[in-house]
Structure 1
Amino acid sequence: MHPKNLDEIPKAYNPKEAESKWYSYWESHNLYHSEVDETKTPYTIVIPPPNITGILHIGHILNNTLQDIYIRYKRMMGFNACWVPGIDHASIATEAKVVALLKEQHITKDKISREEFLKHCYDWKEKYGGIIFQQLRKLGVSCDWQRERFTMDDHYYKKVIEAFVKLYKEGYIYRGYRMVNWDPASKSAISDEEVFYKEVQGKLWYFKYPVKGTNEFVVVATTRPETMLGDTGVAVNPEDERYKHLIGKTIILPIVGREIPLFADEYVDKNFGTGAVKVTPAHDVNDYEMALRHNLEMINIFNEDATTNGNVPNEFQELDRYEAREKVVERMKELGFLHKIEDYANKVGYSQRGNVPIEPYLSEQWFMKMDELAKPALKVVKEGKIKFHPEHWVKTYEHWMTNIRDWCISRQLWWGHRIPVWYHKKTNEIYCEVEPPKDIENWYQDDDVLDTWASSWLWAQDVFTNERDQKYYYPTDLLVTAPDIIFFWVARMIIAGMHFMNDIPFKDVYFTSLVRDEKGRKMSKSLGNSPDPLDLIEEYGADALRFTMTYIAPLGQDVLFSNEMVEIGRNFANKIWNAGRFLLMNAQNIKINPFLKDKHIDFTDKWIVSRFNKTIKEVNDALDKFEVNAASKIIYSYIWNDFCDWYIELSKTRLYHGTEEVKSAVLTRAISLYEEMLKLVHPFMPFITEEIWQLLDERKNGESISIKEYPKFDKNKIDEKAEQEISFVQGVVTAIRNIRGEMNIPPSKSINVFLKSSQITVAQEKYIKSLVKIEDFIVDENLDKPKASASAVVKGCDIFVPLEGLIDVIVERQRIEKEIARLLNSYNGVRKKLENENFVSKAPAEVIEREKQKMNDWQKALEKLQSILEDLE
């Protein structure tokens, strides 16, 4: 072992310098590339492919840190670790970006050819797409960059098309008119999962519809008056006595003049509103279902951009939907058919991408039948072949899969995987194959592309570009993803895996926590509470951010995050650095000798090795249960408390006062253990561990801690006797330090310590004296408590510290009596408040709980002060 010269080692860790240096080193040495090796067991992760429009946010930090921890951990455990990176073409988001860019150049999409538009998309992708991967490198992710994939790559594109053709021929894919969520901004259908709901303060308009051949009116209410232009019926409940005599009669639809039926349907709630509902089958999901049951006409009144079309009266055509709304209300008022208007809070569906209200829309689309496809995918999760972490997501998954609806897989866009269907220009015959028809001049291809999720559902299997790779790496081992895409992506990947590969796509799914600010609010740009991770990395370092995110993110619970929390990781990095620098500082003067590693061992050495082996097992167990948060805290506790605060301090006795051989043995052993400890923490904090590991010895070119063997648990090195001995020493030292603090004994003053015990050893006494400034240390199992002395009890051993000459006992008694009086006054004040029934009955529960906690804390403080006061007698 040849440690670097101390002059080359900065006093403080510099993350900026280390991070850029070591990431370049890892990439240039191709350390994380994986090839098929039948002698090794693979461990595979595929990255949830970020959109090519995406940039790094705090959720990515947590997600990718977790993936990197597992891939580094398994790589060091001897697995053939393969982490496949890739990006998604993101049809809607990317097309919106390109359309906006072209608009700046005074080019509109409908004025250029499809081929020309796609060229602009690829140009945009080359220039801006995948920025997030450059950003992720700053986080230290150990992806196999040689395997980087893109959902529009030739290989992947072909696999997507092959899947469509196969499902079409098997009868799972069909084309038909169905109700869809329509995004007027992108002019495309979107899925239910791409709709979010906002509560909007709107109006409820009541309209009178005249019943033909009578003087009666039926009053209906609506939040969207413009849709009445597409009404094809009015429905009432069959048991509603108010309307029984009208069932079967005809309504004259105002403005339009269309005659529409008044019919009965059990869907209508007779106790809600007027008990009569207008039915607009082409623009409401429930109305659509009623129309199917009663064979009603379906009239679509909107164009793709949500302006009114030719199916409405002339004066209402080509109006924005909200303009049409105002005009309809105005006309109904003129005609005397406006009954009343009420304020009404309504939940309105918005498009996630377009951020505009969606329009329920009857449209001809491509659909996939899901009932049969979902069954095998549901079974493997229920049987535990795929495990969800946390497990409660299984119920959510099961509910969705058992109520699954046919999937609308077509999108009215140009950027994406174009549907492989051609229509004959004369006969309208449908041709569906991977390759276009040979007489292409007689055919035209469907304009639609596939929903982005209908390509990424093949991700786990088709990121592998040849059969050998696929057979070796599939199924993958772990998927780390956000729970909000459990239906979008996780469920559909399982469906795809079971159908196309007849096997699960992954064995474990880790659902990450939602990162919120410290007030519990969701991170968002509009609130200004969403930090830029690159700024945090610049300020604190990547390791500090990585470690903090795992330290504060329990499995299955939301994370409350603030920038200042990254101090946790930075302080921990500094603690590791300072421990390493201390060892290296001593290595400048003390020779490292591997032959002495097992010489001059005492109970402190046995203890720290025992604790290290317990820590290895605890960390492994936690990671195996996907309790990464627990693993980070176990590592933190061992390094900070056991190794740095205790073992290093204990080792100073021999490093400073031992013989040269003892010094060499102690330091050699400490550095060796420190190296193993760095390997334990490396998956969490790759940069600082690589930096120190390289400083500890002259490594061969290309040698990295990241490809070294992970520490192995050795049960034979568990030493309970040594741990008990240290526990006693720690208890005595802590008790004496507490007495110093409680009695205000100046740190510069040496103290006398009396121990009433028969169990202390010479070695224990030596370490206690080295850690506490003691003048005389008297051990006697028969001694009595000295006069005016502070006391404590540790494991049946009485500890006394005489105070005479150390403090002014009279002054100290007066100080404590004064503090007791002050606390007693506060305690009694709270007690009286809690005994007051008037206060207890009116105060909020949290206020009462807070007052009880105050009283409890003060009671404990009073008991402690009373004990100290007795010691001063």
Structure 2
Amino acid sequence: MTDLPKTFDPAEIEARWYAHWEGNGLFRPERPDAQPYTIVNPPPNVTGSLHIGHALDNTLQDIMIRYERLRGKDALWVVGTDHAGIATQMVVERQMNAKGEKRTDYTRDEFVAKVWEWKHESGGTITGQLRRLGCSMDWSREQFTMDPHFSKAVVKVFVELHQRGLLYRDKRLVNWDPHFRSAISDLEVETKETQGGFWRFTYPLAGGVRLADGTDHIVVATTRPETMLADMAVAVHPDDPRYRSVIGKEILQPITGRRLRIVGDDYADPELGSGAVKITPGHDFNDFEVGKRAGIAAGAMLNMFDADAKVVQTADGLVPARFIGMDRFDARGAVVAEMKAQGFLVPHVTKNKEGEAVVADFEPRVIQTPFGDRSGVVIEPWLTDQWYVDAAKLAVPPMQAVRDGRIEIVPKTWEKTFFNWMENIQPWCVSRQLWWGHRIPAWFGPSVTDEGKLSYDMSGEGPSFVAETQEAAEQLALDHYGRAIVTVADPGEAMIAALAGHQSEAGEPAYIWRDPDVLDTWFSSALWPFGTLGWPTPPRDGEVAARSADGGGGRLDANSRSDAAPPHHQQAGGPPPRAGEDLVSRHYPNDLLISGFDILFFWDARMAMMGQEFMGDVPWRKLYLHGLVRAADGQKMSKSKGNVVDPLGLIDRFGADALRFFMAAMESQGRDVKMDEKRVEGYRNFATKLWNAARFLQANGVTASTSIDAPAATLPVNQWIVGQVAATVQALDTAIAELRFDAAANAIYHFVWDQFCDWYIELTKGAMDEETRAVAGWAFDQILVMLHPFMPFITEELWHLTGDRANALIVAQWPQVSASGDGAAAAEIDWLIRLVSAVRTARTELNVPPGAKMKAFVRDAGAVTQARIARQSAALGRLGRIEALSFDAAPEGGAAQLVVDEATFVLPLEGLIDIAAEKARLAKALAAAEKERDSLGNRLSNPAFVEKAKPEAIAKAREDHGEKTAEAQRIKAALDRLA
């Protein structure tokens, strides 16, 4: 046993112990016969750095994995990173741009090789930072979503989903990022308020048709005038009497001359504007649905933009040549100018302060505008061919699993949101137009004409062949075409130009080419709970067999939905299962997933879909959804606001243990966490309190316990602390089972600070006999074990500094306390604590000098209280500075009166304080507190304040009101004691 230094250095302790744990394989000790417990870590982007949200998420996971490890389970925390398609490609392209290079200077293979180089050199930043936080992950099994064994799983899932009819190619609207020239997910879209406009135009009715009131036109309004170049309809509400007579008639788009049908659709709101809406199904998500309901097929919807969001000719050739090639925002101004010049712009008229009319082209409006969160450009709804997963069918089993309890969502309040989204789920676009990622295992080929010739359409709208290997795809193509197959790896511009529109003669080979797109990263991460365990593996006994809608590949026609191929540029990476190891059967389903609520749909729900589709079981038994970490004022953190908190900076200042404990203590189910550096600092002080307690015990000859069971205790104070340990263990077990991290943290905090460090140590000072040393050493050991999941570093350090230990604390045994302590002893110590607390409070509030000793006169005390006073008189004298207790009548004069249970304790104050002055001081303080309390109360009861003030201002006023109310009550109680 080593003498403890006066202070501890968190940085030195953290680095040393983490290296010891990882180096000795203690994050997953060999426990083949133990009950398994499994958590998979939400894989952070390989480009990422630890942010405060990661700190919360991973702290909660580490608490659970350390807790279950201490309980003797085979606790596996799967760790890994996501290849992060767009983010990683962007990082590498930026580096190339800095050297005057661009991606297209290289072949695809060369560029992907450069990304792998970057990954090996710079892709481990966040994993090192997770170590600093203390995350006890099984690093020996670290995964990467582009690892060979994981890529194999991705390809298998894609191919089998296609074979089962659950994955197909379709033409739909997507979120298109013109900077990256790729579709992106909803999560990568950031909606911002921008200053825009609301333009109104007249569209003439065609063929002499008029409205019931004789009007020959309909007024439409839009925030995006440029899209009228691809208008295909005008929608009105079917019950709107103004337009009922013209539904089914035609209307003219002035610039293009295109005749549009007037359709009746509930989407049009009669109360909004003119009640008529122009419909551009190829460039608006709502219009797309209206167009489908109107019978416009997706393939017939007009597209007026290219991948760079510049105007192109529509399929009907009606866009005037002067607009072709314009950027979308330049086109906006040009369209408005032309409509105005032709007299179709309806001006926006307002009045100034003088009552004069002010005419403008548009009504200024704040528009909710979608931006790419990485590119920073406005996202364009764009009609394009992509690969889709039939999410509606895959969503059925997870919904049933939540309903029947096989998946428990915590907090339960999230179930409604889960069901609402799943019941209205849209097809999931899984293709991305990038070079970095899992390349889609699909090969395209030419269509077969009626004359038997091969006609090449290089857009990929012809037949497709899906298989796990190129050889398998070639066989499918051979079966389909009945002629030699030549695979073109990546057709260049020259070959595309040569093949486009080419019709081959008999005897020519059929050329097929690989789909250039890659898969959405959410597709691969959806396999995380089983792909990281080595799946695909031989099926377990009774495992649900793979289902197949059509029995696998075969001949395809131009309308068939099929595709496949192996991942593109595989590198050596994370481990497949070790020899003789069946992680899937042992660790699937996982026990728990801890996730931010913001990825409930992007990741959590999709894992549930894939797990049940391919494993025949849920991916995890419980799903815990935590909130966001917000700034101290409740605002969302963002770089633009300058309120982002760096968790590594907090670790540098206060230590990882303090930050972790803060995260746990503040994590209340269903609420966001408000960042508060003062509280983090407070938990650093908590660690110091624990350290000083260990030093006190060591100085008094207390060493590590030699027994897991509680030592025999005869003294009330020792019986009491044994009971408190048992109660704390029970409270922790209950809170952790319910995933109430704040309750668990508060239970151990209250026990360590209040009961052990303050009262037990105070009560045993100067009375350290052998029994007390044994009990104190045992109780402190239990503290270290119970606190370890929350504060692993300081507890491991003290575990070894306070005794010679055979094992590290990380693999110690969780307390199994059968003793509950003596009830009478516990009641006596509780009485003593309440009495001493009351005396101390009275002394403080009445300004009794700290060193002054007081006498106490007791009246109405029963036999039990009198016996307690006799036994605890020494403690009362030392802790309450009471030099004598008497059951005689108290002398006349000013005194403080304290009631504890049935007894009244009278503390004479004559000679200790100026009673009259003290009464005056308290009366003045009471008046001031009541005045402030009432002022705040009036403000909070004022509707004008509550309705107009910012939420944070209202919250602050309520907090202040509560404080002043409590202060007034406290002062009033002190005055009453002087009566």
TM-score, length-normalised on structure 2? 0.82
Residue 638, structure 1, aligned to residue 751, structure 2? yes
Q: Equivalents in 2 of 1:859, 1:255: separation in Å? A: 75
| Structure 1 residue corresponding to 2:379, chosen from 350, 358, 373 | 358
Deviation at 1:788, TM superposition (A): 3.6
**Cα distance change of structure 1 residues 36 and 408 upon mapping to structure 2, 3 Å threshold:** farther
1:71 alignment partner in structure 2: 65
| Structure 1 residue corresponding to 2:717, chosen from 596, 604, 613 | 604
| Structure 2 residue corresponding to 1:516, chosen from 630, 634, 640 | 630
Deviations 1:94-129 (A, max 9, x none): 122222222222222233211111112111212222
Deviations 1:171-224 (A, max 9, x none): 111112112221212211223444342232211111222333449333221111
**Kept after mapping to 1: 8 A contact 2:729/2:817:** yes
Residue 488, structure 1, aligned to residue 602, structure 2? yes
2:287 alignment partner in structure 1: 287
Q: Equivalents in 2 of 1:417, 1:617: separation in Å? A: 48
Deviation at 1:734, TM superposition (A): 1.8
Q: Equivalents in 2 of 1:423, 1:595: separation in Å? A: 68
**Kept after mapping to 2: 8 A contact 1:410/1:448:** yes
| Structure 1 residue corresponding to 2:841, chosen from 738, 741, 749 | 738
Residue 534, structure 1, aligned to residue 661, structure 2? no
Equivalent residue runs for 1:430-829 within 5 Å: 430-437=464-471, 441=487, 442-465=511-534, 467=537, 468-587=582-701, 598=711, 601-655=714-768, 662=769, 664-700=770-806, 703-714=807-818, 716-756=819-859, 757=861, 758=863, 759=865, 760-761=867-868, 762-778=870-886, 780=887, 783-784=889-890, 787-807=893-913, 811-820=914-923, 823-824=926-927, 827=930
Deviation at 1:545, TM superposition (A): 0.6
Deviation at 1:419, TM superposition (A): 1.1
**Kept after mapping to 2: 8 A contact 1:753/1:777:** yes
Aligned Cα RMSD in Å? Answer: 2.8
Equivalent residue runs for 1:158-557 within 5 Å: 158-214=152-208, 216-296=216-296, 297-311=300-314, 312-340=319-347, 341-424=362-445, 426=454, 429-437=463-471, 441=487, 442-465=511-534, 467=537, 468-557=582-671
| Structure 2 residue corresponding to 1:136, chosen from 130, 134, 141 | 130
**Cα distance change of structure 1 residues 818 and 493 upon mapping to structure 2, 3 Å threshold:** closer
Deviation at 1:362, TM superposition (A): 1.1
**Cα distance change of structure 1 residues 133 and 822 upon mapping to structure 2, 3 Å threshold:** closer
SS in 2 for 1:367: strand
SS in 2 for 1:282: coil
**Kept after mapping to 1: 8 A contact 2:437/2:519:** yes
User: Which 10-residue stretch deviates more, 534-543 or 792-801?
Assistant: 792-801
Residue 145, structure 1, aligned to residue 139, structure 2? yes
TM-score, length-normalised on structure 1? 0.92
Deviation at 1:400, TM superposition (A): 1.0
Deviations 1:522-572 (A, max 9, x none): 111111111111111000000011001111221211111122221121011
Q: Equivalents in 1 of 2:161, 2:816: separation in Å? A: 48
Unaligned runs of 5+ in 2: 209-214, 348-361, 447-453, 456-461, 475-484, 488-510, 538-581, 948-953
Deviations 1:654-686 (A, max 9, x none): 13xxxxxx3x33223212221121001000000
Larger helix proportion of the pair: 1
**Cα distance change of structure 1 residues 650 and 854 upon mapping to structure 2, 3 Å threshold:** closer
User: Which 10-residue stretch deviates more, 754-763 or 224-233?
Assistant: 754-763
Letter in 2 for 1:793: V
Unaligned runs of 5+ in 1: 656-661
User: Which 10-residue stretch deviates more, 352-361 or 179-188?
Assistant: 352-361
User: Which 10-residue stretch deviates more, 750-759 or 159-168?
Assistant: 750-759
SS in 2 for 1:860: helix
Letter in 2 for 1:325: R
SS in 2 for 1:717: coil
SS in 2 for 1:283: coil
Q: Equivalents in 2 of 1:194, 1:404: separation in Å? A: 18
**Kept after mapping to 2: 8 A contact 1:596/1:668:** no
**Cα distance change of structure 1 residues 36 and 335 upon mapping to structure 2, 3 Å threshold:** farther
**Kept after mapping to 1: 8 A contact 2:169/2:387:** yes
Q: Equivalents in 1 of 2:714, 2:616: separation in Å? A: 57
**Kept after mapping to 1: 8 A contact 2:890/2:908:** no
2:82 alignment partner in structure 1: 88
Residue 33, structure 1, aligned to residue 24, structure 2? no
Q: Equivalents in 2 of 1:476, 1:383: separation in Å? A: 18
User: Which 10-residue stretch deviates more, 823-832 or 489-498?
Assistant: 823-832
**Cα distance change of structure 1 residues 859 and 111 upon mapping to structure 2, 3 Å threshold:** closer
Deviation at 1:429, TM superposition (A): 4.2
1:19 alignment partner in structure 2: 14
User: Which 10-residue stretch deviates more, 81-90 or 842-851?
Assistant: 842-851
Deviation at 1:35, TM superposition (A): 5.6
Letter in 2 for 1:324: A
Deviation at 1:600, TM superposition (A): 6.8
User: Which 10-residue stretch deviates more, 407-416 or 250-259?
Assistant: 250-259
**Cα distance change of structure 1 residues 848 and 496 upon mapping to structure 2, 3 Å threshold:** closer
SS in 1 for 2:37: strand
1:105 alignment partner in structure 2: 99
Deviations 1:274-301 (A, max 9, x none): 2222221211223223333334442101
Q: Equivalents in 1 of 2:688, 2:226: separation in Å? A: 65
**Cα distance change of structure 1 residues 587 and 507 upon mapping to structure 2, 3 Å threshold:** same
How many residue pairs match? The answer is 847
Deviations 1:469-524 (A, max 9, x none): 11111111111110011110111101111110001101111111211111110111
How much identity, in percent, do the aligned residues show?
40
Q: Equivalents in 2 of 1:123, 1:143: separation in Å? A: 25
SS in 2 for 1:288: helix
Q: Equivalents in 2 of 1:833, 1:492: separation in Å? A: 49
2:561 alignment partner in structure 1: none
Deviations 1:602-636 (A, max 9, x none): 01000000011010001100000000110000000
Deviations 1:292-314 (A, max 9, x none): 33344421010111111233322
2:118 alignment partner in structure 1: 124
**Kept after mapping to 1: 8 A contact 2:932/2:964:** no
Q: Equivalents in 2 of 1:650, 1:553: separation in Å? A: 33
**Cα distance change of structure 1 residues 149 and 34 upon mapping to structure 2, 3 Å threshold:** farther
Q: Equivalents in 2 of 1:848, 1:87: separation in Å? A: 44
User: Which 10-residue stretch deviates more, 187-196 or 554-563?
Assistant: 187-196
**Cα distance change of structure 1 residues 304 and 746 upon mapping to structure 2, 3 Å threshold:** same
**Kept after mapping to 1: 8 A contact 2:79/2:137:** yes
**Cα distance change of structure 1 residues 581 and 390 upon mapping to structure 2, 3 Å threshold:** same
Deviation at 1:241, TM superposition (A): 3.8
Deviation at 1:853, TM superposition (A): 6.0
